[in-house]
């Protein structure tokens, strides 16, 4: 699977984890040069607290377009050390 935004491949992996229709990419498959830490957090009742990254590509920013669970609850342990995308990021094979 591949995640692209603004003409760049942000992540690429043959082993994503699909949860609620979202592909979670292993953290090591995500190109960190396009990530900027965000102060945004949200809470899911069964996954736990999510943290976010903004994407920075080609002088443009896509705020909070990637999220991850640093310490997911047991029910979501399979997405630990994985990152998912939204807000216009294209996920394709």
Note the pLDDT tens digit of each residue in 19-61: 999 999 999 999 999 999 999 999 999 999 999 999 999 999 9
Hey, CA dihedral for 24, 30, 34, 35, is it positive or negative? positive
pTM of the model as a whole:
0.95
Count of domains in the chain?
1
Interval 48-75 mean pLDDT: 97
The CATH number of the domain where 70 resides is what? 2.170.150.40
C-alpha torsion angle, residues 67, 75, 73, 11 (rounded to 10): -20
CB of 25 within 8 A of CB of 4?
no
Q: Report the pLDDT value the prediction gives residue 72, as an integer from 0 to 100.
A: 98
Strand order in the sheet with 8-12: 8-12, 2-5, 90-92
Residue 3 banded pLDDT, cuts 50, 70, 90? very high
Domain that includes residue 61, residue range = 2-92
């Amino acid at each position: 699977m591949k995640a692209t935004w603004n003409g760049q491949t942000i992540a690429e992996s043959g082993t994503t984890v699909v949860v609620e229709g979202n592909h979670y990419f292993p953290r090591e498959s995500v190109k960190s040069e396009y990530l900027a830490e965000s102060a945004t957090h949200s809470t899911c009742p069964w996954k736990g607290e999510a943290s976010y990254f903004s994407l920075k590509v080609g002088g443009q920013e896509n705020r909070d377009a990637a999220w991850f669970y640093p310490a997911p609850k047991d029910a979501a342990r399979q997405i630990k050390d994985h990152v998912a995308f939204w807000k216009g990021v294209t996920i394709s094979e």
